[in-house]
Structure 1
Amino acid sequence: MYELTVKTSFDAAHKLCGYQGNCARIHGHTWVVEVAVAGGKLDSIGMLIDFKDLKNMVKKATAHLDHNFINELPEFAVNGKVGNPTAENLSRYIYEQVKEELDKNHPSVKIRRVSVWESPNSCATYRED
C-alpha cells in the first residue's frame, strides 16, 4: 500500500457559535490543510496519483473558503449542512469534497484522512474508519 500526503493553506475568518470564550468573536487563521491518500496500484510510470492533481483537488475544495468569513457560507451558516465552522467540521467538509473528486477521477485512490491546523500546535483530523 502506498500513501501520499499533500499540504496547502488558506486564510479565512470564523467565529464559534455557542462557544464561551474569545473564539466566539470573529477571528482569523491561516488554516493548514493536510490530505493523505492511499492505494495499492501504481500507474505505468510508477505513480499512485500525480501530486499536482491531488493538490489541485485540495485547492478546489478550499478555494471558496479562502479569504472569506466561513460562517456566512451556506454550508456553514446556522442550520447549514456542515454546521459550526470548527476545525473538526472543516476537516470533514474537505474530506468529503476531495473524496468525491477521487471517486470520480481516480477510483483506485482512497482518501485516508484530512487534518486541518488552525495554529502550529492545534489540528483536527477526520477519517472514516
Structure 2
Amino acid sequence: MFELKILNHFSAAHQLTMVGEKCENLHGHNWRVEVYVKGERLNEAGVLVDFGIIKTHVKTIMKRLDHKFLNELPFFENDQPSSENLAIYIAKSLQEMIDEPGVVVSRVTTWESDNACATYYPQ
C-alpha cells in the first residue's frame, strides 16, 4: 500500500451554533489542509499518481473555500462548516476529481489553528 500527502491552505470565516458562545460569533481561520490518497499499485511510470494531478485538484477545492463565508456555501446548507465537515467536503470533492484507477482519498485533516484539527477517514 502506498500513501501520498499534499499540503495546502486557505483562509475563510464561519459561525458555528450549539458549540459554545465564542464559536457563535463570526470568526475566521487560516486553515491548513493535509490530503492523503492511497492505492496498492504503482502505474507504468512507477508512481501511485503524479503529485501534480492531486495538487491541481486540491488547489481547485481550496479556491472554492478561500476568503469565503463558509456558512453560505451550498455544501454547508444543512451542516455546520466545522473542521470535521470541512474535511468531509474536501475528501468527497477530491474523490470525485480523481480519475486514476485504484487511487482513493484515505484521509483529510483540517487544521483551524496550530493546535486544533480534525481528521476524516472515508470508508
**Per the shorter chain, which TM-score range?**
over 0.9
Question: Which of structure 1's runs of 4+ aligned residues deviate more than 3 A?
Answer: none
- The answer for the alignment partner of 1:24 in structure 2 is 24
- The answer for the alignment partner of 2:93 in structure 1 is 97
What is the CA distance between 1:73 and its match in structure 2?
1.4
Percent of aligned pairs sharing the same letter: 44
Equivalent positions of 1:30-69 (< 5 A) are 30-69=30-69
Q: Unaligned 5+ residue runs, structure 1?
A: none
Q: 91, 107, 120: which is aligned to 1:113? A: 107
What is the CA distance between 1:18 and its match in structure 2?
2.6
Q: Does 1:85 align with 2:81?
A: yes
CA distances 1:85-126 after superposition (whole Å, capped 9, x unpaired):
000000011111111112xx1122111000100011111011
Question: Which amino acid in structure 2 is aligned with residue 119 of structure 1?
Answer: S
Q: What is the CA–CA distance in structure 2 between the aligned matches of 1:3 and 1:64, rounded to whole Å? A: 25
Q: What secondary structure does 1:12 align onto? A: strand
Q: TM-score, normalised by structure 2?
A: 0.93
Q: TM-score, normalised by structure 1?
A: 0.89
Q: What is the CA–CA distance in structure 1 between the aligned matches of 2:26 and 2:74, rounded to whole Å? A: 17
Q: What secondary structure does 1:71 align onto? A: helix
RMSD: 1.2
What is the CA distance between 1:28 and its match in structure 2?
0.7
What is the CA distance between 1:46 and its match in structure 2?
1.3
Q: What is the CA–CA distance in structure 2 between the aligned matches of 1:86 and 1:16, rounded to whole Å? A: 7
Q: What is the CA–CA distance in structure 2 between the aligned matches of 1:113 and 1:95, rounded to whole Å? A: 7
Q: Unaligned 5+ residue runs, structure 2?
A: none
Q: What is the CA–CA distance in structure 2 between the aligned matches of 1:128 and 1:90, rounded to whole Å? A: 13
Question: Which amino acid in structure 2 is aligned with residue 70 of structure 1?
Answer: L
How many residues matched? 123
What is the CA distance between 1:30 and its match in structure 2?
0.8
What is the CA distance between 1:19 and its match in structure 2?
2.7
Q: What is the CA–CA distance in structure 2 between the aligned matches of 1:100 and 1:109, rounded to whole Å? A: 11
